[in-house]
Homo-oligomer: A and B are copies of this chain.
Amino acid sequence: MPLSTSDRSLVEPVFRRLNVLRPLSAEARGLLEYAMVEGLQRAGPGEDLISEGDPVNSVRVVLSGWLCRYKTLEDGRRQIVNFIFPGETCDAHAFLLSVMDHSIATLTPAVYAEITRARFERLTWEDRALAEAFWCETLVNNAIQREWAINLGRRVALERVAHLFCEIFERLRPVGMTDGRSCNMPITQMDMADATGLSVVHLNRTVQELRASGLIVLRDRTLIINDLDGLRDAALFSPSYLQLYRLG
């Protein structure tokens, strides 16, 4: 199957990301690209791609749209435990365990590539750098998860929300989804509340406080960071856990 230009630009975020973690050979890129284009899928907003308790039989690579990992309590309380942005992989290795411990849902319309477990294992078996790149992704995810723990456990509301904005911005940047000091912010305040462990009402008031301080503008599904250093200070944000730069 020949690749169209639009397919190429669609899969580009994936390689941008993986390349930061491990330099990939042209062959590896070709094989992965081919596998992804064959498994292209679309989903609307608010769809569960996979739910807690489901067995895992494939790997999904997000090409466009925002997704989240979340868990819920019996009484409906929901916590978004991480976001998944274009170029990132859900569950690169989740099939090693028996079932999902959490759910994955789209927050916006999304395009992703679904690769069967067998095919994914063949790909990573044949190319060590590719395998390591995917493992590094999992490890970075782990690090993000830890940062979220301190965010939820030890930062106050204003710091938490500021930190969320810093993280989103820095994670979107390497895949080319920021524009100077602004980026798209296609999720609802409800989603932000569930990501920061706050109530919607208080999240809203906290966002207004950040607006009033002049650090950000959040309007029309767009986030503008007027003062990145200021926002970082307010958030006690230090991006090293994101492993944004080429490793040693």
For the complex, what is the distance from the CA of A194 to the CA of B153, rounded to whole Å?
8
Q: State whether A142 and B152 are in contact (beta carbons under 8 Å apart), knowing that A101-B241, A243-B98 are contacts in the complex.
A: no
| Interchain CB contact (< 8 A) of A154 among B94, B197, B241 | B197
Q: Is the CB of B197 within 8 A of A69?
A: no
Query: Which A residues between 76 and 112 are near B, CB-CB below 8 angstroms?
Result: 77-79, 81-82, 93-94, 96-99, 101-102
Q: Is the CB of A149 within 8 A of B147?
A: no
In the complex, whether A74 has a CB less than 8 A from a CB of chain B is yes
Could you say which residues of chain B place their CB within 8 Å of the CB of A69? 146
In the complex, whether A132 has a CB less than 8 A from a CB of chain B is yes
Q: State whether A77 and B154 are in contact (beta carbons under 8 Å apart), knowing that A97-B143, A98-B248, A101-B241 are contacts in the complex.
A: yes
Q: Is the CB of B77 within 8 A of A146?
A: no
For the complex, what is the distance from the CA of A197 to the CA of B99, rounded to whole Å?
29
Write the nearest CB–CB distance from A101 to chain B, whole angstroms.
4
In the complex, whether A196 has a CB less than 8 A from a CB of chain B is yes
Stretch in A8-16, A32-40, A133-141 touching the partner: A133-141
Residues of A near any B CB (own CB < 8 A): 53, 69, 71, 73-75, 77-79, 81-82, 93-94, 96-99, 101-102, 132, 135-136, 138-143, 145-150, 152-155, 194, 196-197, 236, 240-241, 243, 247-248
